[in-house]
Structures are given as structure tokens and as C-alpha cells.
Structure 1
Amino acid sequence: MSPSAITPEGGSEASVSLREVGEFRVIDRITTDRVQPDTTLLGPGDDSAVVAAPDGRVVACTDVLVEGVHFRLDWSTPEQVGRKAAAANMADVAAMGAVPTSLLVGLACPSETPAKQLEELADGLWAEASSAGAGLVGGDLTSGPVMVVSVTALGSLQGREPVLRSGARPGDRVAVCGRLGWSAAGLAVLGRGFRSPAELVNAHRVPVPPYAAGPAAAAAGATSMIDVSDGLLADLAHVARASAVAVRLRSRAFTVPARLAEIGSALGLDPLRWLLTGGEDHALVATFPPDTALPADWAEVGTVEPADSAGPEVTVDGRPYDGDAGWIHFAKY
């Protein structure tokens, strides 16, 4: 479909609103001529999609991104918001040891929203889904006071058992794969009114989850796993509670990237705090039996021990961490 197909006579493609275009022409525009993976048996266009599940089981998760809370359109382009929304969900699938296959998207936005913004957001969703071998198979579009993007991701275990939060055992090693602290550093830069360095700002706008590392960890025998969405300490606390263990991290096991150290110095902030408490990088953290070789690109950062009188907990260098362990939902909004 050509751009002019949804542009009213005399209108500008960049400014024409959803009210002028209408729901169904926008949906047609963002779903026509897209390439689906083999797992999509029936894509958008009917009441429901049909997705293959050769394993007989489907991993499913949902995340919601709200404008002004999870993203700002003066900081991120709609395409970047789409990529971020898809990445947040597919990282959850990977954290179960599964491979992402399909996305369903619910979108609410004001009727004055330029239709072009939705097309760009859809481009981001499709691009990120494709990078993990998944497809966008359906969804819903409605009006609302601010933009809200809700994504449901489906995944395949490919015959493996799911890796749960509750499987960590005393003696296991704790290891991470992917970037830590980059999104938090980028957010700190944006919050000070700057738009550079670009690699940090872009890390906040679009995470780069190590999707393939989840299935690889499952195949290697990972006993528990979670993606780092709220902060490494906060998310490992879920593992500690679910597994009834203590997670002991070693600060010397973390290498602060030079760029984060440089910006931390410039802003008067501790870059190690970004690594330990920063969210939205969607790295993976898992526990592995002591005699198991870690898969490629996984780095050991701690151990699992029996919970003592303090109960399930996460410590750094033998002590509870000083300050917030990560993002706290409902603390502000």
C-alpha cells in the first residue's frame, strides 16, 4: 500500500491523524506485505491468529509500556518504542529457555496521534520481532488519553523443560549474559538534558537482549533464570525468594565498561550502582550447577548458598546492598 493510500486529499502524510485515517486503514497499512516466520500459520486479518506449537506447549508473557512512565516520545522515536516493547517481552520468553515465535500487540493512543507515528512504531515491533525470528500475528487498536503499548509474546521450548525462578540450589554459580547498566546510564544522561553519548542514550531507547543465550543456558543445564528488567539485585531477589536461597554476589566480578565509568565520573554517580540496580537492559541472569561449563558469553558473578537466619536474600560482598535494589513499581505513579 502506498503512503498516499491513507492520506486524505490535501493532507500531509506526516501530520494526518488517526481520527482522519480510521482504524482499519491504519491496521492494513501496518500489517500488509510483512514477512512472517514459519510458525505463523495464519496471521492478521481474522478474529484470531493461528500459531504452530510443535512442542505441544507455549510460553506466554505480557508487558505494558505506558507513555510518560516507560517511554517519552521527546526522548525516543516511535520506532524505538516499538523495538523496546517487543524486546522487553521476548527477553522474558528467552529467560524461560524458550525461543520467541509470535507477538500480539494491543495499542491505545489519542485520536490526534499522527498515523505516521503508528506506522513507525509498527516498523520497530516488526524489526525487533524479526531479529529474534518471531512474527507479529495480531492485536488491537483503540483510543486512549496517552499511548499505551501492550505486547504478548509467545515462545517455543523446543522440547526442553522451562527454566524457572525456583530452581536455584546451594552450590550453584550465578552468571550473567548481556549488557548491565547501560540503559540506566542512558536514562541518567537524558535526565540531565543531554542527548549524548549516543551509545548510552540509545541503550536506554532500545535494549539489546541476548535472546539466544536463554535457550543456550537451558541446554547447558541452568537451574534458574530471569531477565534483568527492574535491576540485577531486584530481579535476583525474585530468584532467591522463589528458590528459598541466598544469592551472594562479588563486586569484583563485575567489570565497569569504560564508557559508563567516564559518564559516571562526569555526573558524579557510581557506575557500579548502574550495573547492580539499573533496569531495562534485559540481560539474562541464571544459576548453573557447580560442575557445569558456562555457555559462551556468560560470566560468573556470584554463588548460591543456603538461606540463613536472614532468610532468602541477595548480598554484595557479604552485605545487603545500601539503597534501592532497582525499579519499584507504583512508587511514583
Structure 2
Amino acid sequence: MPTSSTPAEKKITLASLGEFGLIASVTAGRTQPASTLLGPGDDAAVVAAPDGRVVACTDVLVEGVHFRMDWSTPEQVGRKAAAANLADVAAMGAVPTALLVGLACPADTDVELLQGLTDGLWAEAEAAGAGVVGGDVAASAQLVLSVTALGSLDGLDPVTRSGARPGDVLAVAGRLGWSAAGLAVLGRGFRSPVAVVGAHRVPEPPYAAGPQAARAGATAMIDVSDGLLADLGHVAVASGVVVDVRSAAFSVTGRLADVGQALGVDPLHWILTGGEDHALAAAFPGSVPEGWLVIGEVRAGAAAVLVDGRPYEGGPAGWEHFSR
């Protein structure tokens, strides 16, 4: 039986395991989807692109900016990192196929933490039908994840931000405001309600809704990562239109309403401006697919985002890294 004089169990760090030992550890026994023709282990991966086009995007997540290890488990951080990129692929109307992961961290980082991160990355990729096909590891003063996602358009045209037209209806798929509410709870030093805190730790993007919208004729689409109004602003500018959101379209019930009441915040503010839920917002020329909620309309005019016909006066429209 251990005594007070027994040495503590020594942690295995990246320095002791080594770069290639870590790679072997996190790739062993993993399965890949059919789109992965050649996975980890060579100079580069080979991923199928049946129609000759590849959708590609990348995000960088920095500890202390995008995530905190005292707020989330390593697996939750890995899932969130993957989801942020896979949602961007879906927002183009594409089906996710692969992730490439760049990891930079201190040499004394616990390998168990890194294993948790990669478990999360693999789990979220699998949930979206994609594989983790390669990456790189480097030394750094802090933990940084760089994730690149690839996707297949499967014969469809990409849905960009620039196609919205006057007369289109505006709709969303996925939840809004939950991650922002969870962040507010964590920022106050609490860990519950679990539903909203969990939404901040691990978003649930509606991956299948992206290709669904493309097949239904969506004219424009975007991943809601920085806040609904902020991201719709990109659509308005790219399309040269006015986007008018109807606040009455959103029903605030359950935990979101409870948290808003407890913290003295109008939950509608989280819905309109909160980021990191990774819902999808799209414009449609007519009826919207099942599962999408109509929240407004597109009109002619100088590029602008309105709420109930007026500029939003409840504060910043969303997150912008270099303005704070």
C-alpha cells in the first residue's frame, strides 16, 4: 500500500515519448472512412475527391483564447476544435471527408492530455463521417491546435456567402445562444446547468443540414461561429443586400431562459450575438428544408443587418478577435 514517502507516479510527457512515439500512439488502431485512400504514416495523405473538387478550410485554436483546460477536458477541446472546422465545410454545402491536425505544445505536456485531445478530434471527425488523415507536431510555449478540414461537394455547387438575393427567406439550422450562455456561466465561476455549459464545451453543428440546404437550392450560407448578426453581416456585405432578422422567430424556453433569468441577461442577446454554437444560417429562394427555422428575410438595399427593421442596439453583433 502506498505511503506518504512513496514517489508520485511519474507522468509521461511529450519530451519522454517523442514526436514519433506520440504519432504512433494517437494513430494506432484508428479506423478511416472510405474517402481516406491513404491515412497517417506517409509524407502526405490521399483523400478521394470524386468530382475533382475539394472544399478546404482551417482554424487555429489557442489555449487561453479559444479554450481553457480548467473549463474543459482534453477530449472536449479536441471535439470543439474539430467541430469548428467541420461546420465550415458543411456551410459550403459539402460533406466532410478529412481532418489534418497541427499541434504545438511545451515539451513537458502530459501525453495523457494529448491523447485526450486526439480522442476528441477522432470522435468528432467520425461523427461527421470524416477521418483524421495526418498532421504535424511542434514545440511551443503554449498549447495551440491548427485544424484543417476537407470536404466533398458530391456534384453540387458550393454555397457561398455572396448569393443571397432580395426576396429570399432567411433560416437557421442548429441551436443558437447556448454556447454563449455556457460561457457566461463558466465566467461566473459555475459549472452548471450542465446543458448550457456542455454546449460551450462541445458544440453540436448540424453537419447534414449543409448538404441538405445545397440540394434545396440555398443561395447563400454561413457557419455561425462569431454570432448570428456578425456572421450574417458577412453575407450582407458579400451579397450586397439587407438582411432583416425577426426576433419573434426565436422562442426562448428551458435552460436558456433559466440561465438568462439567473444572470440578469436577456437570452435573445445570446441568440443574436453569441458565437461557437456552429449553427448554419442560409438564404433560400422559397420554402426551407425540414429542420430549418425561418428567422427573417433578404431585401434590396445597401449592405446591412437589421433586427425587426432596425439596427441592433444591444451591444456588439458578435466576436471579433482584434477589436478587444
Q: Report the AA paired with residue 150 of structure 1.
A: S
Task: Provide the secondary structure at the position in 2 that maps to 1:204.
Answer: helix
**CA–CA distance in structure 1, aligned partners of residues 266 and 28 of structure 2:** 47
Is 1:209 the counterpart of 2:201? The answer is no
Q: What are the residue-to-residue correspondences of 1:294-333 with 2, within 5 Å?
A: 294-307=288-301, 311-322=302-313, 323-332=315-324
2:172 is matched with which residue?
176
SS, match of residue 160 in structure 1 = coil
* Residue of structure 1 in register with 2:278 after alignment: 282
Indicate the residue corresponding to 1:68 in structure 2. 64
| Alpha-carbon distance, 1:134 to partner | 0.2
After TM superposition, list the pairs within 5 Å mapping 1:52-91 onto structure 2.
52-91=48-87
Q: Distance in 2 between matches of 1:112 and 1:306?
A: 56
Stretches of 4+ moved more than 2 A in 1? 10-13
Partner amino acid, structure 1, of 2:193: P
For residues 35-114 of structure 1, the aligned pairs below 5 Å read 35-114=31-110
1:235 equivalent to 2:231? Answer yes
Distance (whole Å) between structure 2 residues aligned to residue 152 and residue 255 of structure 1 = 35
Q: What code does the residue aligned with 1:327 have?
A: W
Q: Which residue in the other structure is 2:3 paired with? A: none
Give the unaligned 5+ runs of structure 2.
Answer: 1-6
How many Å separate the matches in 2 of 1:118 and 1:246?
A: 45
Give the Cα separation in 1 of the matches to 2:252 and 2:67: 26
Matched letter for residue 214 of structure 1: G
State the distance in 1 between where 2:323 and 2:80 align.
22
Q: Which amino acid aligns with 1:326?
A: G
Total equivalences in the alignment: 317
Partners of 1:262 and 1:33 lie apart in 2 by: 43
Normalising by structure 2, report the TM-score: 0.96
1:293 equivalent in alignment to 2:287: yes
Deviations 1:204-244 (A, max 9, x none): 00000000000000000000000100000000000000000
Instruction: Give 1:6's aligned residue.
Output: none
Aligned to 1:65, the other structure's residue is in SS state strand
1:116 is the counterpart of 2:107 = no
| Inter-partner Cα distance in structure 2 for 1:288 and 1:134 | 27
Distance across 2 between alignment mates of 1:212 and 1:165: 18
TM-score normalized by structure 1?
0.94
Task: For residue 11 of structure 1, report the CA deviation from its aligned partner.
Answer: 8.7
In the TM superposition, what is the alpha-carbon distance from 1:12 to its structure 2 partner? Answer: 4.2
**Matches of 1:182 and 1:26, distance apart in 2:** 35
Residue 257 of structure 1: how far off its partner (Å): 2.8
Give the drift of 1:258.
Answer: 2.0
Residue-by-residue CA offset, 1:170-229 (whole Å, 9 max, x unaligned): 000000000100000000000000000011101000000000000000000000000100
- Secondary structure at the aligned position of 2:123 is classed as helix
The answer on 1:154 being equivalent to 2:150 is yes
**Residue 271 of structure 1: aligned partner:** 267
2:20 matches 1:24: yes
User: Cα deviations across residues 19-74 of structure 1 (Å, max 9, x unaligned)?
Assistant: 11111111100011100001111100011001111011000000111000000000
CA-based RMSD of the aligned residues comes to 1.1
